[in-house]
Structure 1
């Protein structure tokens, strides 16, 4: 990836890599360049995302470490998410370095690409697991609070990384050094089966799961708020618990915001991956359209990385212990019953 260059003619594969086969060289016919607008967007966004993402996620990990004695299943998921996001942020710095001084280490570059996407999908799956956990917490609160919930959450996190490792293992040949002409730029499109695995398993299934769980969570919270409001309106009712209703409204806002962040961050990059594949499969190829899609993909890739610090902002609202630790002077009054939100 060349961030600061105006035009990039497709370079030769890494030395030592086998030459591209004729049936996989379809986009090498098009000169690839990055527009000034995209270059400026990258320059403007990449440094703030790195600084904000690294600072917020390290702060989150420190807070979670201090609160380890009172961890819940939510904490386990958030630690897993913070680790994935921190790794992504560090890799972002490596990509910035590669954009200025191109890395000439084929095997290292293959590893970096695998780590980048593995942690991106690790973040996606963990956010999805948190959405499911929140739904279970409000739909089956007694079951969700039973002993062993932390172990279940840890097992889910292990399964997440095993699934990702399995996908990386199955498609390891597609990430071999000879398939890259720079450290983060492929010299051929993703195979269709690999692309469909990313689109379906890595995006469509998590999105549908989050839509279902988030909508049900919001419905239950709103219904509970209405029932509480009606009970408070009955003659002889006590002062009630306005903070509980405020908690429900805040929880609804948090759930909706988490879903919106997921859609905004991860929908564009998966749409761009699919569109770019369709364009590289055309014969003859429209180079102007390919260059446009290439620039769009670079923008969506950076948009996806903003999830790294947006997740950290979400920690503040997801965990009341995180709020207390981060803002010890402004300790808010909270209910004794917590919905893990």
Structure 2
């Protein structure tokens, strides 16, 4: 009888394990119920805007680089890698748009949940490291124009991109473990960072990721641009080794990168750090948790706007890139007009028919 009772209790425990897991996932929500109704409108709209803007911009940039650029420079290599990372992230956005439009319901399984979260951070920290490479490249070219000739080669640029992606992949391997699906109110969701019961473990990883993936590269970029600005101030006049065109290009690059960090990257990491701290150490303070969650969830989709940054950096960094873009647009319009004229000359009945339909 004792054996039979133990067997029955084992069966009961086994059957109720999924229910207990569901309760664990919702325990913190029951302690401090959060109002996140705003994100069901904000996130689909923001992600849709990033999709509509980022897809053609990065596509046009990749097309110009691959089909209309004969010789790639070091900067082109970095920017093409940025565009590829942006496009991979942008292609994952439809899944998030559908999920948030359905009020957090995740229909695509755990593997795709892990992939979507990984691609977001891959794009984020890959972009930061590649921008660091561009900043170091610009620093060497401006401050050491002669000595840096042996370092500013395409071979070293390719090596820099390989090292950057390797570091990003190693940094983000734990995110594949932390990213998971779960159930809240009998509905499958894809957790943003990790499941609520795993926040204490993720907190340590999140802090380390912020330091290694954002803070250290940001300090390198800041030092490089401070030294560039000092060099540009010192080297003025006709005897300058830095021409006016190169000076203007450097200033545009500095403004764009600083704008990206000020608008997207820094606010996101600040809000995420505060959010993680409150979720782990002050999770019973419901008003504070609500405020920090709102702060983080607003900046979370806005940081995706950095996927529109690399095309802007490409088109605004030099007049030849802008001229090439405008030339291709004019040629496309002329080809379209000449094609329409050729059709109307060879098949006049088609034009008559179309005119009749319009009438």
| TM-score where L is the length of structure 2 | 0.74
Match of 2:133 among 129, 137, 140: 129
Give the structure 2 partner of residue 183 of structure 1. Answer: 190
Residue 106 of structure 2 is aligned to residue 103 of structure 1: yes
Return the structure number with greater helix share. 2
Secondary structure of residue in 1 paired with 2:21? coil
Deviations 1:98-124 (A, max 9, x none): 112432302221122112211211111
Work out the CA distance in 1 between the residues paired with 2:312 and 2:177.
37
Residue 233 of structure 2 is aligned to residue 222 of structure 1: yes
Work out the CA distance in 2 between the residues paired with 1:169 and 1:205.
19
Give the structure 1 partner of residue 342 of structure 2. Answer: none
Which is worse superposed, 276-285 or 202-211? 276-285
Give the structure 1 partner of residue 78 of structure 2. Answer: 77
Give the structure 1 partner of residue 31 of structure 2. Answer: 29
Match of 1:141 among 124, 141, 145: 145
Secondary structure of residue in 1 paired with 2:256? helix
Whether contact under 8 Å (1:122, 1:164) holds in the other structure is: yes
RMSD: 3.2
Shift of 1:304: 0.6
| TM-score where L is the length of structure 1 | 0.78
Q: Looking at both structures, which has the greater relative contact order when contacts are Cα pairs under 8 Å and sequence separation is at least 6?
A: 1
Which is worse superposed, 44-53 or 170-179? 170-179
Shift of 1:274: 1.0
Give the structure 2 partner of residue 206 of structure 1. Answer: 217
Secondary structure of residue in 2 paired with 1:71? coil
Whether contact under 8 Å (2:180, 2:191) holds in the other structure is: no
Secondary structure of residue in 1 paired with 2:36? coil
Give the structure 2 partner of residue 11 of structure 1. Answer: none
Tell me the number of residue pairs that the alignment of Structure 1 and Structure 2 aligns: 304
Deviations 1:72-126 (A, max 9, x none): 1111101011111112222222211111243230222112211221121111111
Residue 176 of structure 2 is aligned to residue 166 of structure 1: no
Work out the CA distance in 2 between the residues paired with 1:201 and 1:177.
27
Give the structure 2 partner of residue 268 of structure 1. Answer: 267
Deviations 1:29-87 (A, max 9, x none): 22232254x55544543322211111100000001102443111111101011111112
Work out the CA distance in 1 between the residues paired with 2:305 and 2:124.
11
Whether contact under 8 Å (1:126, 1:160) holds in the other structure is: yes
Deviations 1:272-307 (A, max 9, x none): 111111111235612222122222212111221111
Alignment of 1:285-296 (within 5 A): 285-296=284-295
Shift of 1:140: 2.2
Residue 95 of structure 2 is aligned to residue 87 of structure 1: no
Summarize the Cα distance change of 1:162–1:318 in structure 2 as closer, same or farther, 3 Å threshold.
Answer: same
